[in-house]
Amino acid sequence: GAVVSQHPSWVICKSGTSVKIECRSLDFQATTMFWYRQFPKQSLMLMATSNEGSKATYEQGVEKDKFLINHASLTLSTLTVTSAHPEDSSFYICSASSRNTGELFFGEGSRLTVL
């Protein structure tokens, strides 16, 4: 099946620094990618939807200046958590949508810990 690679799988950073997470579709072109956040024992919360070559659409309550999303190509989207704070510590997961079927494929997730 299709593969979505997410990197890094875990990262620890100091408060105030910025962290970039990459999401790549390895064997298909993803015109649409999604970024989710997951808190312990909860389901996924959609943060934003990004389409290649255009600005991301953020969900209500998600600060676009804090969570910068770039979808520069059909195979790569990045999420940058700017000026990270401990409350940003979470599990971030990306997904890519198959243009043909609409099936979603997920990355393995990135666990961010902000000290």
Partner 1 sequence: KQEVTQIPAALSVPEGENLVLNCSFTDSAIYNLQWFRQDPGKGLTSLLLIQSSQREQTSGRLNASLDKSSGRSTLYIAASQPGDSATYLCAVSGGGYQKVTFGTGTKLQVIP
Mark residues 66-105: x for contact with partner 1 by CB under 8 A, - for none.
-------------------------x-x-x-x---xxxxx
Q: Residues 24, 37, 107, 114: which binds partner 1 (CB under 8 A)?
A: 107
For 1, the token pair is 């099946």
Helix, strand, or coil here: 18? Answer: coil
Mark residues 29-68: x for contact with partner 1 by CB under 8 A, - for none.
---x-x--------xx-x--x-x-----x-----------
- Which residues lie near partner 1 (CB under 8 A)? 1, 6, 32, 34, 43-44, 46, 49, 51, 57, 91, 93, 95, 97, 101-109, 111
